[in-house]
Amino acid sequence: MDLRRRLPRRALLGAAGALALGGGSRPAAASAPFAEAELAHARDLRERGLADRTAHRLVRELCTGIGARPAGSPEDAKARAWAMGALTALGLENVRAEAFPLRVWRRGPAAARLTAPQPRPLVMAALGNSVATPAGGLDAEVAWYPSLAALRADTTDREQSRANGRIVFIDERTARTRDGRGYGNAVLARINGPVEAARRGAVALAIRSIGTSGEAGSGGSERAGTSPVAHTGATRYDLSVPRIPAFAVSVPDAEYIAAWQASGQMMRMHVDLQTRSGVDASTANVIAEWRGTDLADEVVLISAHLDTWDVGEGAEDDGAGVGIVCAAAGLMASAKRRARRTIRVVLFGNEENGFDGALQYGNRYKDVPHQLVAESDFGAGRIYAVRSRVAPAALPVIDAMAEVLAPLEIAHPEATRNQGNPGPDAGVLMRRHRWPAIALSQDGSRYFDVHHTVHDMFEHLDTAGLPQNVAAWAVTAWLAAQSPLPFGPPVL
């Protein structure tokens, strides 16, 4: 694109040279859409964010003061009250909780052990939504598969399948990656495993934990000591096949099972797992705003989710995100300068097991113009890239934003600059309502060491990257709200 044909002359002054951003380069005229005073304010927010310690305080208060906060629980209600108080204290406006009903799953006592060829108790955790075993548990031979793909390759003829009458074990490994791709590839074993196993006659499903904690030689458990840990997270059922109990075992236990499989020995396992499903409850989205000026009816949404699974303290997932977006909004409010559009903080309810908060929000505000949706939900790792999902005409604004973010060591990769994924709840809103989005991609190399486990605690959170995150979110939200151009409709 020839910027000289698209931008006014003042945009080109001082545009000599090129700014290398994530493997591509563009002329340094990206600052054109904004006046110098607007960019100066964004840079000031950036520098103030780097010196701000509010996010650290907020995450500590939430995690150590309340702990695990599964949707619909008493702790969930305490977290909402805390969040409303914190957002009010930060100077934000229209602070409120928008409640909605839901039905929740509750964990009960659970245990599993190998009974042959040698007895061994297993570190395990029921998967979210799992049905219970019969009273007293069940005992069956193990049918081992190296991956979900291997299970799917097995015949669906129950009489011929190795899974029939057995406990299926899926040994899907999670690769350690910066962008979470390894988790995305492996997690299908957790989500779809029970259905695929049941189609082949299995009586239960066990999986290797979908995480990197306890990897041989990886140092993955250094953050949380050496004790093995099992991962939880949502699974799903298809009512056309029987619902079978489903659970995860720790990575060391999975390695032990794999070693027996390699030896050719027959294995048997006993599991006793009690749960409750369909429990009536309620939760809410917590919302606060920094009102805009001439375009106040348009919304720049920055978000996180307040709920957790019922294990750990939810520091990585998603206490860190709560602290980051709240602190960024507070930073903008403390500057006493209003942008054109309203900046709205949303702390979603029940992201972990159904995206109910995102769905409720979308239904309620579907007719409100949204300039941007974005979410912080990948721990406290440093942001390394910014990518958008906006209309092509808005890309010069995103380029200008990227220029202000560049001193934070945040790249703007040329090839994928408009292919961002804004996070789970924000992604739902982007796809369902065609709202524009931005992704601030964090380094998640260590995230899955503790994700969805009892080790997800504030004491194990590396908080060094929080100020950089706050700085980046404040810059992004303020410039999006001040933009002379609408961001939508996005390219999906």
DSSP summary character for residue 381 = P
Instruction: Give the pLDDT of residue 26.
Output: 45
Instruction: Give the pLDDT of residue 174.
Output: 97
Question: pLDDT-derived band of residue 25, with 50, 70 and 90 as boundaries?
Answer: very low
Instruction: Give the pLDDT of residue 214.
Output: 74
Strand, coil or helix: what is 477?
helix
The DSSP bridge pattern shows strands 268-290 and 138-145 to be antiparallel
Q: Is 334 exposed, middle or buried (0-12, 13-18, 19+ CB in 10 A)?
A: middle
Question: pLDDT-derived band of residue 225, with 50, 70 and 90 as boundaries?
Answer: low
Q: Calculate helix-pair angle for 320-334, 74-89, nearest 10 degrees.
A: 20
Question: Where does residue 72 fall: left (phi above 0), alpha (psi -120 to 50 degrees), or beta otherwise?
Answer: left
At 274-332, the pLDDT tens digits run 999 999 999 999 999 999 999 999 999 999 999 999 999 999 999 999 999 999 999 99
At 359-391, the pLDDT tens digits run 999 999 999 999 999 999 999 999 999 999 999
At 444-481, the pLDDT tens digits run 999 999 999 999 999 999 999 999 999 999 999 999 99
* pLDDT reading at 30 higher than 60: no
* pLDDT reading at 429 higher than 50: yes
User: Which of 429, 405, 254 lies closest to 356, judged by CA?
Assistant: 429
Q: What is the mean pLDDT of residues 36-58?
A: 98
| Whole-prediction pTM | 0.92
* pLDDT reading at 219 higher than 50: no
Q: What angle do CA 95, 291, 466 make, to 5 degrees?
A: 70
Q: Which two tokens stand for residue 43?
A: 């840079």
- The residue among 223 and 273 whose pLDDT is bigger is 273
Measured CA to CA, the distance from residue 212 to residue 219 in angstroms comes to 9
**Domain covering 118-266: architecture:** 3-Layer(bba) Sandwich (3.50)
Question: pLDDT-derived band of residue 224, with 50, 70 and 90 as boundaries?
Answer: low
Instruction: Give the pLDDT of residue 19.
Output: 33
Instruction: Give the pLDDT of residue 173.
Output: 97
DSSP summary character for residue 349 = S
Instruction: Give the pLDDT of residue 213.
Output: 84
Segments making up each domain of the chain, as ranges? 3-103+280-482, 118-266
Average pLDDT, the chain: 92
At 231-284, the pLDDT tens digits run 999 999 999 999 999 999 999 999 999 999 999 999 999 999 999 999 999 999
Strand, coil or helix: what is 265?
coil
User: Which of 300, 281, 280, 277 lies closest to 290, judged by CA?
Assistant: 300
Instruction: Give the pLDDT of residue 227.
Output: 84
Q: Which fold has domain 3-103+280-482?
A: Aminopeptidase (3.40.630)
Contact 248, 230 (CB under 8 A): yes
* pLDDT reading at 22 higher than 50: no
Measured CA to CA, the distance from residue 317 to residue 46 in angstroms comes to 25
* pLDDT reading at 29 higher than 80: no
At 130-144, the pLDDT tens digits run 999 999 999 999 999
Measured CA to CA, the distance from residue 364 to residue 366 in angstroms comes to 6
Counted residue by residue, the chain has a size of 492
Q: What is the mean pLDDT of residues 379-407?
A: 98
At 102-127, the pLDDT tens digits run 999 999 999 999 999 999 999 999 99
* pLDDT reading at 9 higher than 60: no
* pLDDT reading at 220 higher than 60: no
Contacts of 92 (CB under 8 A, 6+ apart): 288, 289, 290, 329, 330, 333, 345
Least trusted range by pLDDT, from 6-15, 19-28, 179-188, 287-296: 6-15
Question: pLDDT-derived band of residue 83, with 50, 70 and 90 as boundaries?
Answer: very high
Place of tokens 């809410």: 284
Q: What is the mean pLDDT of residues 398-410?
A: 98
Measured CA to CA, the distance from residue 292 to residue 90 in angstroms comes to 17
